[in-house]
Structure 1
Protein backbone atom coordinates (compact mmCIF):
# COMPACT_ATOMS: atom_id res chain seq x y z
CA UNK A 1 0.00 0.00 0.00
CA UNK A 2 1.33 3.42 -0.90
CA UNK A 3 0.34 6.93 0.02
CA UNK A 4 -1.24 7.36 -3.43
CA UNK A 5 -3.88 4.70 -2.63
CA UNK A 6 -5.06 6.38 0.56
CA UNK A 7 -8.75 7.29 0.52
CA UNK A 8 -8.33 9.82 3.34
CA UNK A 9 -5.22 11.94 3.76
CA UNK A 10 -6.45 14.41 6.38
CA UNK A 11 -8.44 12.95 9.26
CA UNK A 12 -9.49 13.66 12.81
CA UNK A 13 -9.49 10.73 15.21
CA UNK A 14 -11.74 10.98 18.27
CA UNK A 15 -10.42 8.86 21.14
CA UNK A 16 -12.56 8.41 24.22
CA UNK A 17 -10.87 8.68 27.58
CA UNK A 18 -12.46 5.34 28.53
CA UNK A 19 -10.45 3.69 25.74
CA UNK A 20 -7.24 4.51 27.60
CA UNK A 21 -8.44 2.48 30.57
CA UNK A 22 -7.49 -0.72 28.78
CA UNK A 23 -7.70 -3.39 31.46
CA UNK A 24 -7.72 -0.90 34.33
CA UNK A 25 -10.67 0.55 36.24
CA UNK A 26 -9.18 4.04 36.54
CA UNK A 27 -6.43 6.05 34.90
CA UNK A 28 -4.26 5.07 31.96
CA UNK A 29 -3.25 1.57 30.91
CA UNK A 30 0.30 2.10 29.63
CA UNK A 31 0.29 -1.23 27.79
CA UNK A 32 -2.77 -0.18 25.78
CA UNK A 33 -1.31 3.28 25.21
CA UNK A 34 1.74 1.63 23.67
CA UNK A 35 -0.47 -0.42 21.35
CA UNK A 36 -2.48 2.54 20.09
CA UNK A 37 0.75 4.53 19.68
CA UNK A 38 2.13 1.80 17.41
CA UNK A 39 -0.88 2.19 15.14
CA UNK A 40 -0.67 5.97 15.17
CA UNK A 41 3.02 5.74 14.27
CA UNK A 42 2.13 3.57 11.26
CA UNK A 43 -0.56 6.05 10.17
CA UNK A 44 1.86 8.94 10.53
CA UNK A 45 4.43 7.11 8.39
CA UNK A 46 1.89 6.94 5.56
CA UNK A 47 1.90 10.72 5.35
CA UNK A 48 -1.60 11.19 6.78
CA UNK A 49 -2.30 14.60 8.32
CA UNK A 50 -3.61 13.35 11.66
CA UNK A 51 -5.36 15.30 14.41
CA UNK A 52 -6.57 13.63 17.61
CA UNK A 53 -9.21 14.86 20.04
CA UNK A 54 -9.05 12.93 23.28
CA UNK A 55 -11.61 12.59 26.05
CA UNK A 56 -11.10 12.40 29.80
CA UNK A 57 -13.67 9.89 31.01
CA UNK A 58 -11.03 7.53 32.40
CA UNK A 59 -10.17 10.21 34.97
CA UNK A 60 -13.17 12.53 35.35
CA UNK A 61 -16.45 13.26 33.58
CA UNK A 62 -18.20 16.61 34.03
CA UNK A 63 -21.69 15.11 33.84
CA UNK A 64 -20.81 12.59 36.56
CA UNK A 65 -19.42 15.38 38.71
CA UNK A 66 -22.65 17.33 38.38
CA UNK A 67 -24.64 14.32 39.56
CA UNK A 68 -22.47 14.24 42.67
CA UNK A 69 -23.29 17.86 43.49
CA UNK A 70 -20.59 19.84 41.70
CA UNK A 71 -21.42 22.98 39.78
CA UNK A 72 -21.81 21.84 36.15
CA UNK A 73 -19.51 24.46 34.64
CA UNK A 74 -16.78 23.75 37.19
CA UNK A 75 -17.20 20.00 36.72
CA UNK A 76 -16.81 20.42 32.96
CA UNK A 77 -13.60 22.38 33.43
CA UNK A 78 -12.31 19.56 35.62
CA UNK A 79 -13.17 17.16 32.80
CA UNK A 80 -11.24 19.33 30.35
CA UNK A 81 -8.15 19.11 32.56
CA UNK A 82 -8.54 15.32 32.56
CA UNK A 83 -8.32 15.37 28.75
CA UNK A 84 -5.07 17.33 29.06
CA UNK A 85 -3.56 14.62 31.26
CA UNK A 86 -4.47 12.03 28.61
CA UNK A 87 -3.10 14.19 25.80
CA UNK A 88 0.25 14.63 27.53
CA UNK A 89 0.47 10.90 28.22
CA UNK A 90 -0.17 10.12 24.55
CA UNK A 91 2.32 12.76 23.41
CA UNK A 92 4.98 11.30 25.69
CA UNK A 93 4.56 7.77 24.32
CA UNK A 94 4.54 8.96 20.71
CA UNK A 95 7.63 11.10 21.14
CA UNK A 96 9.50 8.20 22.73
CA UNK A 97 8.70 6.31 19.53
CA UNK A 98 10.26 9.12 17.50
CA UNK A 99 6.96 10.57 16.25
CA UNK A 100 6.83 14.36 16.11
CA UNK A 101 3.66 15.69 17.68
CA UNK A 102 2.24 18.73 19.43
CA UNK A 103 -0.37 19.04 22.16
CA UNK A 104 -2.60 22.07 21.76
CA UNK A 105 -5.09 23.11 24.43
CA UNK A 106 -8.32 25.07 24.25
CA UNK A 107 -7.55 26.27 27.80
CA UNK A 108 -4.42 28.32 28.41
CA UNK A 109 -1.85 26.07 30.09
CA UNK A 110 1.24 27.38 28.31
CA UNK A 111 3.66 25.61 30.65
CA UNK A 112 2.64 22.21 29.26
CA UNK A 113 0.80 22.78 25.95
CA UNK A 114 0.46 25.31 23.17
CA UNK A 115 -2.76 27.31 23.02
CA UNK A 116 -5.04 26.15 20.21
CA UNK A 117 -4.80 28.62 17.33
CA UNK A 118 -6.22 27.39 14.04
CA UNK A 119 -3.51 28.85 11.81
CA UNK A 120 -0.76 27.39 13.98
CA UNK A 121 -2.52 24.01 14.10
CA UNK A 122 -2.69 23.98 10.29
CA UNK A 123 1.00 24.84 10.17
CA UNK A 124 1.85 21.88 12.42
CA UNK A 125 -0.10 19.56 10.12
CA UNK A 126 1.66 20.93 7.05
CA UNK A 127 5.00 20.20 8.76
CA UNK A 128 3.97 16.57 9.25
CA UNK A 129 3.29 16.67 12.98
CA UNK A 130 0.51 14.78 14.74
CA UNK A 131 -1.82 17.16 16.56
CA UNK A 132 -3.25 16.15 19.94
CA UNK A 133 -6.08 18.51 20.87
CA UNK A 134 -6.96 18.78 24.55
CA UNK A 135 -9.54 20.53 26.74
CA UNK A 136 -12.44 20.17 24.33
CA UNK A 137 -13.73 23.47 22.98
CA UNK A 138 -12.59 25.28 26.13
CA UNK A 139 -16.22 25.87 27.08
CA UNK A 140 -18.42 24.06 29.60
CA UNK A 141 -21.62 22.30 28.48
CA UNK A 142 -19.95 21.00 25.29
CA UNK A 143 -18.77 17.42 24.87
CA UNK A 144 -15.53 16.21 23.32
CA UNK A 145 -17.67 14.88 20.45
CA UNK A 146 -18.59 18.48 19.68
CA UNK A 147 -14.96 19.51 20.03
CA UNK A 148 -13.90 16.75 17.62
CA UNK A 149 -16.47 17.81 15.02
CA UNK A 150 -15.57 21.48 15.37
CA UNK A 151 -11.82 20.84 15.04
CA UNK A 152 -12.33 18.49 12.09
CA UNK A 153 -14.14 21.27 10.24
CA UNK A 154 -11.64 23.96 11.25
CA UNK A 155 -8.71 21.84 10.10
CA UNK A 156 -10.31 20.85 6.78
CA UNK A 157 -10.42 17.15 7.63
CA UNK A 158 -12.02 14.77 5.15
CA UNK A 159 -13.56 12.54 7.80
CA UNK A 160 -14.16 12.27 11.54
CA UNK A 161 -13.16 8.82 12.81
CA UNK A 162 -14.85 8.01 16.11
CA UNK A 163 -13.05 5.16 17.86
CA UNK A 164 -15.28 3.20 20.24
CA UNK A 165 -15.64 -0.13 22.02
CA UNK A 166 -18.11 -1.46 19.42
CA UNK A 167 -17.55 -2.16 15.73
CA UNK A 168 -20.10 0.27 14.33
CA UNK A 169 -23.64 1.58 14.60
CA UNK A 170 -26.44 -0.92 15.33
CA UNK A 171 -30.22 -0.65 15.20
CA UNK A 172 -30.22 -1.36 18.95
CA UNK A 173 -27.71 -1.95 21.72
CA UNK A 174 -25.79 -5.11 20.71
CA UNK A 175 -24.83 -5.75 24.34
CA UNK A 176 -28.49 -6.09 25.32
CA UNK A 177 -29.78 -7.48 22.03
CA UNK A 178 -27.62 -10.20 20.40
CA UNK A 179 -29.86 -10.06 17.32
CA UNK A 180 -29.06 -6.37 16.73
CA UNK A 181 -28.27 -5.49 13.11
CA UNK A 182 -25.18 -3.48 12.21
CA UNK A 183 -25.26 -0.79 9.52
CA UNK A 184 -22.31 -0.65 7.13
CA UNK A 185 -23.49 2.69 5.79
CA UNK A 186 -26.26 5.01 6.93
CA UNK A 187 -27.29 8.63 6.33
CA UNK A 188 -27.49 11.36 8.93
CA UNK A 189 -31.24 11.61 8.46
CA UNK A 190 -31.70 7.86 8.93
CA UNK A 191 -29.78 8.03 12.20
CA UNK A 192 -32.16 10.75 13.39
CA UNK A 193 -35.28 8.92 12.19
CA UNK A 194 -34.21 5.69 13.89
CA UNK A 195 -33.19 7.59 17.04
CA UNK A 196 -29.76 5.95 17.09
CA UNK A 197 -27.26 7.25 19.63
CA UNK A 198 -24.05 8.00 17.77
CA UNK A 199 -22.90 11.19 19.47
CA UNK A 200 -24.49 14.19 21.11
CA UNK A 201 -27.01 16.21 19.09
CA UNK A 202 -24.85 19.33 18.78
CA UNK A 203 -21.89 17.42 17.33
CA UNK A 204 -24.12 15.36 15.05
CA UNK A 205 -25.96 18.39 13.65
CA UNK A 206 -22.69 20.22 13.06
CA UNK A 207 -21.30 17.28 11.06
CA UNK A 208 -24.52 16.83 9.08
CA UNK A 209 -24.91 20.50 8.19
CA UNK A 210 -21.30 20.74 7.02
CA UNK A 211 -21.22 17.42 5.13
CA UNK A 212 -18.54 15.88 7.33
CA UNK A 213 -18.71 12.07 7.17
CA UNK A 214 -18.34 10.15 10.43
CA UNK A 215 -16.84 6.69 10.73
CA UNK A 216 -17.70 4.73 13.89
CA UNK A 217 -15.39 1.76 14.39
CA UNK A 218 -13.81 -0.55 16.96
CA UNK A 219 -10.54 0.85 18.28
CA UNK A 220 -9.57 -2.41 19.94
CA UNK A 221 -9.24 -4.39 16.70
CA UNK A 222 -5.65 -3.99 15.53
CA UNK A 223 -5.26 -2.40 12.13
CA UNK A 224 -8.72 -0.84 11.86
CA UNK A 225 -7.42 2.72 11.57
CA UNK A 226 -5.15 1.87 8.64
CA UNK A 227 -7.87 -0.19 6.93
CA UNK A 228 -10.27 2.74 7.14
CA UNK A 229 -7.71 5.11 5.65
CA UNK A 230 -7.41 2.87 2.60
CA UNK A 231 -11.18 2.69 2.19
CA UNK A 232 -11.67 -0.87 3.44
CA UNK A 233 -14.98 -1.76 5.06
CA UNK A 234 -14.57 -0.99 8.75
CA UNK A 235 -17.31 -0.05 11.19
CA UNK A 236 -20.16 2.17 10.02
CA UNK A 237 -19.89 5.22 7.80
CA UNK A 238 -22.44 8.01 8.30
CA UNK A 239 -22.83 10.61 5.56
CA UNK A 240 -25.35 12.75 3.71
Structure 2
Protein backbone atom coordinates (compact mmCIF):
# COMPACT_ATOMS: atom_id res chain seq x y z
CA UNK A 1 0.00 0.00 0.00
CA UNK A 2 1.38 3.42 -0.99
CA UNK A 3 2.13 5.98 1.70
CA UNK A 4 -0.19 9.03 1.86
CA UNK A 5 1.38 12.12 0.35
CA UNK A 6 1.97 15.29 2.35
CA UNK A 7 -0.34 18.19 1.58
CA UNK A 8 2.63 20.58 1.49
CA UNK A 9 5.97 20.10 -0.28
CA UNK A 10 7.89 23.08 1.14
CA UNK A 11 7.30 24.75 4.51
CA UNK A 12 8.85 27.48 6.63
CA UNK A 13 8.80 26.65 10.33
CA UNK A 14 8.95 29.64 12.69
CA UNK A 15 10.16 28.69 16.17
CA UNK A 16 10.39 31.10 19.07
CA UNK A 17 13.56 30.99 21.13
CA UNK A 18 11.37 30.39 24.18
CA UNK A 19 10.22 27.10 22.64
CA UNK A 20 13.73 25.73 23.20
CA UNK A 21 13.76 26.48 26.93
CA UNK A 22 11.46 23.67 28.07
CA UNK A 23 10.94 24.24 31.77
CA UNK A 24 14.18 26.22 32.14
CA UNK A 25 14.23 29.96 32.90
CA UNK A 26 16.40 30.67 29.84
CA UNK A 27 18.92 28.96 27.57
CA UNK A 28 18.42 25.70 25.66
CA UNK A 29 16.91 22.56 27.12
CA UNK A 30 18.59 19.60 25.44
CA UNK A 31 15.61 17.26 25.78
CA UNK A 32 13.25 19.85 24.30
CA UNK A 33 15.40 20.59 21.26
CA UNK A 34 15.94 16.88 20.58
CA UNK A 35 12.19 16.23 20.68
CA UNK A 36 11.54 19.09 18.25
CA UNK A 37 14.21 17.82 15.89
CA UNK A 38 12.63 14.36 15.94
CA UNK A 39 9.34 15.96 14.80
CA UNK A 40 11.16 17.75 11.97
CA UNK A 41 12.98 14.56 10.97
CA UNK A 42 9.65 12.78 10.66
CA UNK A 43 8.28 15.27 8.12
CA UNK A 44 11.58 15.42 6.21
CA UNK A 45 11.26 11.64 5.92
CA UNK A 46 7.93 12.19 4.18
CA UNK A 47 9.68 14.21 1.47
CA UNK A 48 8.79 17.67 2.80
CA UNK A 49 11.36 20.44 2.29
CA UNK A 50 11.83 22.30 5.57
CA UNK A 51 13.30 25.71 6.32
CA UNK A 52 13.43 27.14 9.83
CA UNK A 53 13.55 30.64 11.33
CA UNK A 54 14.22 30.74 15.06
CA UNK A 55 14.05 33.57 17.56
CA UNK A 56 16.59 34.42 20.24
CA UNK A 57 14.40 35.29 23.20
CA UNK A 58 15.55 32.34 25.30
CA UNK A 59 19.15 33.59 25.25
CA UNK A 60 18.34 37.28 25.33
CA UNK A 61 16.10 36.69 28.35
CA UNK A 62 19.20 35.81 30.35
CA UNK A 63 20.69 39.19 29.44
CA UNK A 64 17.48 41.17 29.99
CA UNK A 65 18.63 43.07 33.07
CA UNK A 66 21.83 44.22 31.42
CA UNK A 67 19.97 45.21 28.25
CA UNK A 68 17.50 47.47 30.06
CA UNK A 69 17.65 51.01 28.67
CA UNK A 70 19.93 49.95 25.81
CA UNK A 71 19.73 51.58 22.39
CA UNK A 72 17.09 49.68 20.38
CA UNK A 73 19.28 49.02 17.35
CA UNK A 74 22.11 47.70 19.55
CA UNK A 75 19.70 45.44 21.43
CA UNK A 76 18.30 44.14 18.13
CA UNK A 77 21.78 43.28 16.86
CA UNK A 78 22.41 41.38 20.09
CA UNK A 79 19.14 39.56 19.46
CA UNK A 80 20.32 38.62 15.97
CA UNK A 81 23.46 37.08 17.44
CA UNK A 82 21.26 35.13 19.86
CA UNK A 83 19.37 33.66 16.90
CA UNK A 84 22.69 32.56 15.37
CA UNK A 85 23.53 30.72 18.59
CA UNK A 86 20.12 29.02 18.58
CA UNK A 87 20.45 28.14 14.92
CA UNK A 88 23.83 26.49 15.48
CA UNK A 89 22.42 24.48 18.40
CA UNK A 90 19.43 23.41 16.32
CA UNK A 91 21.59 22.41 13.35
CA UNK A 92 23.89 20.42 15.64
CA UNK A 93 20.92 18.56 17.13
CA UNK A 94 19.67 17.84 13.61
CA UNK A 95 23.04 16.49 12.52
CA UNK A 96 23.07 14.21 15.57
CA UNK A 97 19.70 12.77 14.51
CA UNK A 98 20.76 12.06 10.94
CA UNK A 99 19.47 15.20 9.22
CA UNK A 100 21.70 17.41 7.11
CA UNK A 101 21.26 21.03 8.19
CA UNK A 102 22.70 24.25 6.83
CA UNK A 103 22.69 27.52 8.76
CA UNK A 104 22.55 30.69 6.64
CA UNK A 105 22.93 34.08 8.31
CA UNK A 106 21.50 37.43 7.23
CA UNK A 107 24.58 39.13 8.75
CA UNK A 108 28.11 38.22 7.73
CA UNK A 109 29.82 35.85 10.18
CA UNK A 110 31.53 33.68 7.58
CA UNK A 111 33.91 32.03 10.05
CA UNK A 112 30.85 30.63 11.85
CA UNK A 113 28.04 30.22 9.31
CA UNK A 114 27.60 30.89 5.63
CA UNK A 115 25.79 34.02 4.44
CA UNK A 116 22.21 33.85 3.21
CA UNK A 117 22.11 33.52 -0.56
CA UNK A 118 18.70 32.68 -1.97
CA UNK A 119 19.76 30.39 -4.88
CA UNK A 120 21.99 28.42 -2.51
CA UNK A 121 19.16 28.07 0.00
CA UNK A 122 16.87 26.77 -2.74
CA UNK A 123 19.55 24.30 -3.82
CA UNK A 124 19.90 22.97 -0.28
CA UNK A 125 16.13 22.53 0.03
CA UNK A 126 15.95 20.66 -3.27
CA UNK A 127 18.74 18.38 -2.00
CA UNK A 128 16.65 17.50 1.05
CA UNK A 129 18.71 19.52 3.53
CA UNK A 130 17.07 21.53 6.32
CA UNK A 131 17.93 25.21 5.98
CA UNK A 132 18.04 27.28 9.18
CA UNK A 133 17.84 31.02 8.55
CA UNK A 134 19.67 32.94 11.27
CA UNK A 135 19.99 36.62 12.26
CA UNK A 136 16.46 37.59 11.31
CA UNK A 137 16.30 39.95 8.34
CA UNK A 138 19.74 41.34 9.17
CA UNK A 139 18.21 44.69 10.11
CA UNK A 140 17.19 46.18 13.46
CA UNK A 141 13.54 47.03 14.14
CA UNK A 142 12.33 43.89 12.34
CA UNK A 143 11.29 40.78 14.25
CA UNK A 144 11.98 37.14 13.46
CA UNK A 145 8.27 36.88 12.58
CA UNK A 146 8.99 39.29 9.74
CA UNK A 147 12.07 37.26 8.82
CA UNK A 148 9.90 34.13 8.63
CA UNK A 149 7.39 35.85 6.34
CA UNK A 150 10.17 37.28 4.17
CA UNK A 151 12.16 34.06 3.82
CA UNK A 152 8.98 32.06 3.33
CA UNK A 153 8.02 34.27 0.39
CA UNK A 154 11.56 34.22 -1.03
CA UNK A 155 11.89 30.44 -1.07
CA UNK A 156 8.38 29.84 -2.35
CA UNK A 157 7.13 28.10 0.79
CA UNK A 158 3.58 26.85 0.57
CA UNK A 159 2.93 27.48 4.24
CA UNK A 160 4.45 29.38 7.17
CA UNK A 161 4.11 27.38 10.39
CA UNK A 162 3.97 29.52 13.50
CA UNK A 163 4.94 27.12 16.30
CA UNK A 164 3.57 28.17 19.69
CA UNK A 165 2.70 26.67 23.06
CA UNK A 166 -1.03 26.75 22.21
CA UNK A 167 -2.65 24.43 19.66
CA UNK A 168 -4.12 27.18 17.50
CA UNK A 169 -5.86 30.53 17.64
CA UNK A 170 -8.71 30.81 20.12
CA UNK A 171 -11.65 33.17 20.55
CA UNK A 172 -10.25 33.99 24.01
CA UNK A 173 -7.35 32.91 26.22
CA UNK A 174 -8.05 29.18 26.78
CA UNK A 175 -6.06 29.28 30.03
CA UNK A 176 -8.46 31.87 31.44
CA UNK A 177 -11.71 31.06 29.66
CA UNK A 178 -12.70 27.35 29.49
CA UNK A 179 -15.42 28.20 26.94
CA UNK A 180 -12.90 29.58 24.44
CA UNK A 181 -13.12 27.85 21.06
CA UNK A 182 -10.35 27.16 18.57
CA UNK A 183 -10.70 28.59 15.09
CA UNK A 184 -10.06 25.93 12.43
CA UNK A 185 -9.59 28.61 9.76
CA UNK A 186 -9.50 32.40 9.62
CA UNK A 187 -9.08 34.88 6.82
CA UNK A 188 -6.38 37.52 7.16
CA UNK A 189 -9.08 40.19 7.33
CA UNK A 190 -10.92 38.32 10.10
CA UNK A 191 -7.72 37.97 12.12
CA UNK A 192 -7.04 41.70 11.78
CA UNK A 193 -10.60 42.75 12.65
CA UNK A 194 -10.59 40.49 15.73
CA UNK A 195 -7.15 41.86 16.73
CA UNK A 196 -5.85 38.33 17.35
CA UNK A 197 -2.15 39.26 17.26
CA UNK A 198 -0.99 36.13 15.42
CA UNK A 199 2.21 37.79 14.16
CA UNK A 200 3.55 41.31 14.28
CA UNK A 201 1.89 43.70 11.85
CA UNK A 202 4.75 43.80 9.32
CA UNK A 203 5.00 40.02 9.07
CA UNK A 204 1.24 39.60 8.89
CA UNK A 205 0.88 42.21 6.14
CA UNK A 206 3.63 40.57 4.11
CA UNK A 207 1.97 37.14 4.34
CA UNK A 208 -1.38 38.65 3.40
CA UNK A 209 0.05 40.56 0.41
CA UNK A 210 1.93 37.49 -0.84
CA UNK A 211 -1.10 35.22 -0.18
CA UNK A 212 1.19 33.06 1.97
CA UNK A 213 -0.98 31.11 4.44
CA UNK A 214 -0.01 30.80 8.10
CA UNK A 215 -0.70 27.76 10.25
CA UNK A 216 -0.61 28.31 14.01
CA UNK A 217 -0.07 25.11 16.00
CA UNK A 218 1.50 23.76 19.18
CA UNK A 219 5.08 22.55 18.84
CA UNK A 220 4.67 20.91 22.26
CA UNK A 221 1.94 18.56 21.01
CA UNK A 222 3.37 15.22 19.91
CA UNK A 223 2.89 14.51 16.19
CA UNK A 224 1.32 17.93 15.52
CA UNK A 225 3.89 18.95 12.90
CA UNK A 226 3.28 15.77 10.91
CA UNK A 227 -0.48 16.26 11.06
CA UNK A 228 -0.10 19.82 9.81
CA UNK A 229 1.95 18.87 6.75
CA UNK A 230 -0.46 16.03 6.00
CA UNK A 231 -3.30 18.54 5.84
CA UNK A 232 -5.16 17.24 8.90
CA UNK A 233 -7.28 19.37 11.24
CA UNK A 234 -4.49 20.61 13.47
CA UNK A 235 -4.07 24.17 14.66
CA UNK A 236 -5.52 27.21 12.91
CA UNK A 237 -5.05 28.11 9.23
CA UNK A 238 -4.95 31.82 8.40
CA UNK A 239 -5.40 32.41 4.69
CA UNK A 240 -6.24 35.01 2.05
Q: Aligned equivalents of 1:184 and 1:42: distance in 2? A: 24
Kindly indicate whether residue 20 of structure 2 is the aligned counterpart of residue 24 of structure 1. Answer: no
Report if the CA contact (8 A) 1:170-1:180 is conserved.
yes
| Structure 1 residue 41 displacement after superposition | 1.2
Structure 1's 2 and 45: CA in aligned 2 closer, same or farther, altered over 3 A? farther
SS in 1 for 2:57: coil
Name the structure 1 match of 2:179: 179
1:97/1:180 CA distance change after superposition, 3 Å: same
Asked if 2 retains the 8 angstrom alpha-carbon contact of 1:37 and 1:93, the reply is yes
Structure 1 174/67 Cα, relative in aligned 2: closer, same or farther at 3 Å? farther
1:75 — aligned with what?
75
SS of residue in 2 equivalent to 1:13: strand
1:230 is matched with which residue?
230
Q: Say yes or no: does 1:15 pair with 2:15.
A: yes
Q: For residues 168 and 136 of structure 1, do their structure 2 counterparts lie closer, same or farther at Cα, with a shift above 3 Å needed?
A: same
Cα drift, residue 98 of structure 1? 1.7
- Between the aligned partners of 1:148 and 1:3, the Cα distance in structure 2 is 30
Cα pair distance change 1:11/1:2, threshold 3 Å: farther
Which has the larger displacement, 169-178 or 135-144?
Answer: 169-178
Distance in 2 separating the partners of 1:78 and 1:110? 17
Residue number in structure 1 paired with 2:40: 40
Answer whether contact 1:44 1:50 (CA < 8 A) is retained: yes
Contact 2:103 2:133 in 1 (8 A): yes
How far apart in 1 are the matches of 2:193 and 2:123?
Answer: 40
How far did residue 198 of structure 1 move? Answer: 0.5
Q: Counterparts of 1:159-238 in structure 2 under 5 Å? A: 159-238=159-238
Q: What pairs up with 1:6-155 in 2 under 5 angstroms?
A: 6-60=6-60, 68-155=68-155
Q: Does the residue aligned with 2:226 lie in a helix, a strand or coil?
A: helix
Alpha-carbon offset, residue 179 of structure 1: 2.2
| 1:92-115 deviation line (CA, Å, top 9, x unaligned) | 111112211100000111111110
How far residue 128 of structure 1 moved from its aligned partner, in angstroms, is 1.1
Q: Distance in 2 between matches of 1:3 and 1:14?
A: 27
Contact 1:87 / 1:132 at 8 angstroms: preserved in 2? yes
**1:14 touches 1:52 (CA, 8 Å); kept in 2?**
yes
Distance 1:210 1:65, change over 3 A: farther
Two-structure CA RMSD over aligned residues (Å): 1.6
Q: Is contact 2:7-2:230 (8 Å) kept?
A: yes
